[in-house]
Amino acid sequence: MSAREPMADHAARLVEHHGSPLYVYDAERVRAAYRDFTAAFPYSPADFHYAIVCNKNRHLVRLLHALGAGIHANTPGDAFAALSAGVPPDRILYSGTNLNADDLDFLLGHRIRLNLDSVDQLRDFAARGPGGAVGLRLLVDDPTRASRIGVDPAELPEALEIARAAGVRLIGLHMYAGTNNRSLARFLACFDRMVAASELLPDLEELDAGGGFGVPYRPGQEPLDLPTLGREVAGRMEALSARRGRRIRLVVEPGRVLVAEAGSLLVKVISVKERGGRRYVGVDTTVGNVVVESVYYPHHRVEAVAPRGAPLEIPTDVCGNTTHSRDFLARNCQLPRLAPGDLLALRDVGAYGYAMSSHFLNRPRPAEVVMDQGQALLTTRRETFADLLSTQVDA
């Protein structure tokens, strides 16, 4: 018996019970990722806010919160998802952009802390009075290069003046190095720019290193060296706190790195064609159900759940169940012999998988199951055709 067989039986039972395609998350893997991530930053006080944008699955949100994580909200909808999962408002940190008056009403009405993205947004916040405390997102790239993020360090004196006049305290700076980043040098260069800019803030209480910690999607890719990154950041925070004569809080907003590798999408083979030296394996899902390389850059490994022998030489494209010309789940794979009914697994889809699925192509979204302590918990029901039209009204 091969080592993979029990897992294959397990996947087959899940699909039998909950149908296909099916998102499956391994709760223990998420817990381990959170423990490894937090342990990599030997600094106190440090506060870790899971970036719910990449997967709002309530079971995963609750288990991360139970381990001590707060939530990073990118939009008011993110904050709503966190509140609905039972995360208290004082454990939600909003670091986002372009809030209109309704957004501000919603977030401030829940007393959610904000990192604002522009001087205009600081004016909007200040105009609401009285006082309060707020952070700013900082442009950590060369301001002469195109970037839409944050406040230019050169704008900080103006921001401080707006805040002073309104009795608002500017207590923090926030950076975002970009998503799926595996470069230590990139993170540290951004962090150093944030530390340098923070010297201007007399009321500084915290620095937020943002998210963007990458994962190796392709075999052979190097993972981000988190222990070194964490030590380097901690060293810089110690030096900053020593200069300030008080402990400055470190905030981090990991998303992808906590959940990506814990998720798979199980799909069923529907038909197999071979022609022109290629094999086309048709499956029962689509790029509308999971965002793939042709649509969003992460590549997802595809594996046969119960392989019948070694991978074949023939280049194989895994095709979706729509006629959309870009509906390929993967291209140029090496997969073993396959027949209708076989199961494939798209790996590493725990982040930005279900979250980026849509109704484009009108295939209802899959169900989500979390495997936790030996139990398969259905956490999101499979959508129906009715869900595709649920927001339409007859005019």
Ligand X SMILES: Cc1ncc(COP(=O)(O)O)c(C=O)c1O
Name which of 46 and 335 has its Cβ closer to ligand X.
46
Name which of 132 and 214 has its Cβ closer to ligand X.
214
φ/ψ (deg, to 5) at 296: -145, 145
Position 118 contacts ligand X (CB under 6 A): no
Ramachandran quadrant class, 374 (left: phi over 0; alpha: psi -120 to 50; beta: rest): left
Element (H, E) at 120: helix 119-128
Listed ranges 157-165, 176-184, 199-207, 370-378: which one lies at the site for ligand X (CB under 6 A):
176-184
Name which of 254 and 320 has its Cβ closer to ligand X.
254
Least distance from ligand X to the Cβ atom of residue 49, Å: 8
**Distance of alpha carbon 202 from alpha carbon 171, whole angstroms:** 8
Tell me how far CA of residue 41 lies from CA of 8, 30, 238, 286, 301, in angstroms: 37, 18, 12, 39, 30
Name which of 74 and 321 has its Cβ closer to ligand X.
74
Per the listing, tokens 């199951």 go with: 369
Name which of 22 and 54 has its Cβ closer to ligand X.
54
Binding mask 233-272 for ligand X (x = CB under 6 A): --------------------xxxxx---------------
Instruction: Pick the binder of ligand X from 55, 179, 286, 316 (CB under 6 A).
Output: 179
**Distance of alpha carbon 371 from alpha carbon 10, whole angstroms:** 11
* Tokens (6 digits) for 174: 């926030």
**Distance of alpha carbon 327 from alpha carbon 87, whole angstroms:** 37
Cβ proximity of 53 and 78 under 8 Å: yes
Binding mask 338-377 for ligand X (x = CB under 6 A): -------------x--------------------------
Burial grade of 109 (CB within 10 A; 0-12, 13-18, 19 or more): exposed
Q: Which of residues 76-105 bind ligand X (CB under 6 A)?
A: 95
Give the number of residues in contact with ligand X, rule: CB under 6 A.
19
Instruction: Pick the binder of ligand X from 37, 187, 213, 354 (CB under 6 A).
Output: 213
Listed ranges 61-69, 76-84, 206-214, 218-226: which one lies at the site for ligand X (CB under 6 A):
206-214
Tell me how far CA of residue 55 lies from CA of 29, 81, 88, 354, in angstroms: 15, 10, 18, 7
Name which of 104 and 257 has its Cβ closer to ligand X.
257
Instruction: Pick the binder of ligand X from 20, 38, 57, 74 (CB under 6 A).
Output: 74
Name which of 47 and 284 has its Cβ closer to ligand X.
47
Name which of 117 and 342 has its Cβ closer to ligand X.
117
**Distance of alpha carbon 388 from alpha carbon 359, whole angstroms:** 7
Listed ranges 83-91, 204-212, 242-250, 280-288: which one lies at the site for ligand X (CB under 6 A):
204-212
Instruction: Pick the binder of ligand X from 135, 150, 153, 210 (CB under 6 A).
Output: 210
Binding mask 43-72 for ligand X (x = CB under 6 A): --------x-xx-----------------x
* Tokens (6 digits) for 307: 């392989």
Cβ proximity of 363 and 232 under 8 Å: no
* Tokens (6 digits) for 126: 């200040």
Q: Which of residues 144-173 bind ligand X (CB under 6 A)?
A: none
Least distance from ligand X to the Cβ atom of residue 307, Å: 31
Listed ranges 10-18, 77-85, 175-183, 331-339: which one lies at the site for ligand X (CB under 6 A):
175-183
> What's at 346, amino acid-wise?
L
Q: ω before 336 within 30° of 0 (cis)?
A: no
Least distance from ligand X to the Cβ atom of residue 52, Å: 9
Measured in whole angstroms, the distance separating CA 225 from the mean position of its chain's CA atoms is 19
- What's the full length of the chain, in residues? 395
Cβ proximity of 291 and 256 under 8 Å: no
Q: Which of residues 285-304 bind ligand X (CB under 6 A)?
A: none
Per CB under 6 A, residues contacting ligand X are 51, 53-54, 72, 74, 95, 176, 179-180, 210-213, 253-257, 351
